[in-house]
Homo-oligomer: A and B are copies of this chain.
Amino acid sequence: MIARKREAPAHVALARRLGVSIVTGERPPGSALPGEIDLAESFGVARSVIREALRMLSGKGLVVSKPKSGTRIRERHEWNLLDPQLLGWMFEGAAPPLTFVRSLFQLRLIVEPAAAELAARQRTPRQLSRLGYALEEMTSYGLDSEPGRAADQQFHAIILKATSNELLVSLSASISAAVRWTTLFKWRAGEPRDSLPEHQRLFDAIARSDAAAARAATVGLIGQAALDTEQAIAKLGEAEVA
C-alpha cells in the first residue's frame, strides 16, 4: 500500500485537480476558467478555498487573474515546467506526449552525466560508503521491489549531493519526480532490462574518481532508460488503441 497522505487540505487537492486538468491539455492555454463563485459552487467548497488553490497555480505560472476578465490559463512557455508538482501532474492522466518524454530524457542526458563527473571528482569517503550501501540494497532487493526502488532513488540522490551544487540538486529533484513515473510505465509494459551492471560501473568510476568513466556510465544508464521507456509508451499506446 502506498503511503498516501491521509487527506490533503481542500485547497491543495483543488490545486491538483485544476493543475492536472491544465497541464494535460483538458483546459487549453488562453481559455478562461469559470468565475470563482461558479468554481466554488461546482466543487462544493467556499470561495476562499478556490482562491487559495488559484494562488498556488498562479505561483507556478499556470494562470493569471485580473478583475472583470477572470482567470485565464497562460501560454505553455510561461509555465514553470521544472516545478516538481507540475512535472508530477503531467503524468497523472494517461501517458504524456512523446515529445515531452523525449525532452525529459534529453535534459537528463545533459545534466546527469555532468553531475556524475563532478561527483567523481568531489565525493567524500563518507559519501562513497553510503553510495556503496545503496548499491548493495538495490542488488539484494532488486529494482522490482519498493525498497529496491527507494535505494535507487537514494543512490542518485547521494551522487547529486556530492556535486555540492544546490541548483543541480534542486533540478534533479524535479526531474526525478518525473522519472519515477516513467519507471512505472516501464514496469507496467513488461520487465525492462537490468540496470544493475551500469549502476555498478557508475559506482566503480566514482570510487576511483574517474570522471570520464562516470560520465560514460551515466550516459549508458540514461540511454537505456530512454529506450525502454519509449518502447513501453509505444506498447501501452497500442494497448490503449486496441
Contact = CB atoms under 8 A, between A and B. Distances in A.
A104 to B, nearest CB: 6
B56 A167 contact: no
A15 B170 contact: no
A235 interface: no
Given A103-B165, A165-B103, A170 B110 contact: no
A122 to B, nearest CB: 11
A167 B84 contact: no
A11 B222 CA distance: 42
Contact of A80 (B84, B110, B115): B84
Contacts of A107: 165, 167-168, 171
A63 to B, nearest CB: 12
Contact of A77 (B57, B166, B174): B166
A78 to B, nearest CB: 9
A18 interface: no
Interface string A106-138: 110011001100100000000000000000000
Contacts of A51: 48, 52
Contacts of A77: 166, 169-170
Interface in A54-108: 55-61, 76-77, 79-85, 100, 103-104, 106-107
Chain A, interface size category, equals 35 or more
Tell me the interface secondary structure of chain A in the complex: helix
B55 A170 contact: no
Contacts of A15: 59
Contacts of A110: 110-111, 114-115, 168
A14 B165 CA distance: 29
10 contacts: A15-B59, A53-B55, A55-B55, A56-B56, A56-B59, A59-B60, A61-B84, A80-B174, A103-B165, A107-B165
Given A61-B84, A83-B83, A111-B111, 18 more contacts: A51-B52, A52-B52, A57-B59, A59-B83, A59-B85, A77-B166, A79-B170, A80-B82, A80-B170, A81-B170, A82-B82, A82-B83, A82-B170, A103-B165, A106-B118, A107-B165, A110-B168, A171-B171
